Amino acid sequence: MTKKTGGISYRDAGVDIVAGDALVDAIKPLARSTFRDGCLGGLGGFGALFEIPRKFNQPILVAGTDGVGTKLKLAVQWQRHQTVGVDLVAMSANDVLVQGAEPLFFLDYFATGRLDIDTATSVVNGIAEGCRLAGAALIGGETAEMPGMYEDGDYDLAGFCVGAVERDRLIDGRKIDVGDLLIGLPSSGPHANGYSLIRRLIADKNVDPATPMGASSLEDALMTPTRVYVRPVLNLLQRIDVHGLAHITGGGITGNISRVLPAGCQAVIDGRAWRWPEIFEWIQQAADIGSVEMYHTFNCGIGMVIIVSDADADSAVTALHRAGERPLVIGRIDAARGKPMVTIQ
């Protein structure tokens, strides 16, 4: 038999299966730390298994998917990988939450040109942290090594969250009515939205990431992960008849509140009800853009909006305070007077 020479292996082509197997071994204990009731089996199968907890009588499944966007470019540039894992979970878990659903499980997709086990493990460590905050089990995922698709060191993330809500507890905005009040929960910064603009500002103006920003630096302010609102909101839903919820993501305050309003309703926001965190004041000044554009791009300090009746507002605020939140009444629901559906005064 003639010995073949000059062959090209999969590893020669840029895909290291051994490294992929090593990553799976490294993240198995991270995934196990997130397991909850309903989990069946562990990582490594072709499909992840989960049984809907028996506490649900008529469960409706609610699914959400999202990514982290160009915030990942700063994570690579500044070698801040763990916090974007929390971002990944928060973006989907918070979206599932606004339907009134309890997040049950989460899957992730990690794609890169060349797999670096330390970087990938750091990212998944953050994903596990986010899952613990959301009460969701990390039951599966996919790692894709695709040489030629990404620049050296770059990677992309996608996340998939599934939750459940009792049919008669589903929140779809139909209860929202004139006279309801809007309660805002603080954000931790830009979360994972608007980073294409932010990166443009940093590059064009050659901004030092160590620039002081409040009690920390610009880098710290921008890499602070998205808040996971699951626990305080689920706690509130057990006590108050919540009429609507809005997760303030891409599209900002105006774009996301309008998504939950029924016909005939308009949200009037009091822009004086809270002070923007310093990072948003810096963005506005550096970009030289008006408040309307800011409110339509960023959360400007409010990451979740809760809509309740006027009669329930005080009880809701009290319950949120007891859950460790800093709630603020930021507006009201009026009868619609044409567009826009959300106005900020």
Instruction: Tell me how many domains the chain contains.
Output: 2
> Is residue 10 domain-resident?
no
Q: Are residues 77 and 205 in the same domain?
A: no
Residue range 211-259, pLDDT digits in tens: 999 889 999 999 999 999 999 999 999 999 999 999 999 999 999 999 9
pLDDT recorded at residue 10: 55
Is 290 exposed, middle or buried (CB count within 10 Å of its CB: 0-12, 13-18, 19+)? exposed
Q: Are residues 209 and 296 in the same domain?
A: yes
pLDDT recorded at residue 15: 61
pLDDT recorded at residue 48: 87
Do the beta carbons of residue 139 and residue 194 sit within 8 Å?
no
Do the beta carbons of residue 128 and residue 33 sit within 8 Å?
yes
- Residue 112 is part of a domain; what is its CATH number? 3.30.1330.10
Residue range 207-216, pLDDT digits in tens: 999 999 988 9
Residue range 19-65, pLDDT digits in tens: 667 777 777 888 888 899 999 877 767 888 999 999 999 999 999 99
pLDDT recorded at residue 128: 96
Read off the tokens for 268.
């009037």
CA–CA distance, 274 with 263 (Å, rounded to integer): 28
Do the beta carbons of residue 228 and residue 133 sit within 8 Å?
yes
Domain boundary among 169, 201, 234: 169
Domain boundary among 169, 204, 237: 169
Q: Are residues 187 and 331 in the same domain?
A: yes
> Is residue 176 domain-resident?
no
Domain that holds residue 333: 181-344
Q: Are residues 227 and 252 in the same domain?
A: yes
pLDDT recorded at residue 339: 77
Domain boundary among 169, 196, 218: 169
> Is residue 214 domain-resident?
yes
Q: Are residues 160 and 215 in the same domain?
A: no
Neighbours of 3 (CB within 10 A): 4
| Phi, psi (degrees; rounded to nearest 5) at 249 | -120, -140
pLDDT recorded at residue 31: 83
> Is residue 210 domain-resident?
yes
pLDDT recorded at residue 29: 85
Q: Which residues, given as ranges, of the chain have pLDDT below 50? A: 1-2
Q: Are residues 215 and 128 in the same domain?
A: no
Q: Are residues 280 and 239 in the same domain?
A: yes
**String of DSSP letters for 214-255:** TTEEHHHHHHSPPP--HHHHHHHHTTS---EEEE--TTHHHH
**Could you give the angle at which helices 195-204 and 71-78 cross, rounded to 10 degrees?**
50
Q: Are residues 195 and 320 in the same domain?
A: yes
Q: Are residues 269 and 158 in the same domain?
A: no
Neighbours of 264 (CB within 10 A): 11
Residue among 21, 11, 14 at smallest CA distance from 152 = 14
Q: How are strands ordered across the β-sheet holding 181-186?
A: 244-247, 302-308, 181-186, 328-335, 265-269, 342-344
> Is residue 11 domain-resident?
no
- Residue 305 is part of a domain; what is its CATH number? 3.90.650.10
Place of tokens 């799976």: 24
Determine the number of helices (DSSP H) and then strands (DSSP E) in the chain: 11, 14
pTM for the model stands at: 0.92
Q: Are residues 232 and 284 in the same domain?
A: yes
> Is residue 5 domain-resident?
no
Residue 181: its H or E element: strand 181-186
Place of tokens 């992840």: 48
Q: Are residues 163 and 186 in the same domain?
A: no
Which of the 8 DSSP states describes residue 260?
G
CA–CA distance, 301 with 288 (Å, rounded to integer): 19
Using the Cα atoms of residue 67, residue 71, residue 73 and residue 77 in order, give the sign of their dihedral: negative
Q: Are residues 138 and 185 in the same domain?
A: no
For residue 133, CA distances in Å to 86, 138, 245 come to: 9, 12, 19
Name the E strands within 41-114: 49-50, 59-67, 102-112
> Is residue 175 domain-resident?
no
CA–CA distance, 60 with 192 (Å, rounded to integer): 28
Do the beta carbons of residue 183 and residue 313 sit within 8 Å?
yes
pLDDT recorded at residue 50: 92
Please, which residues have CB within 8 angstroms of residue 213's CB and are 6 or more apart in sequence?
Answer: 220, 221, 278, 279, 282
Using the Cα atoms of residue 81, residue 87, residue 92 and residue 93 in order, give the sign of their dihedral: positive
> Is residue 55 domain-resident?
yes
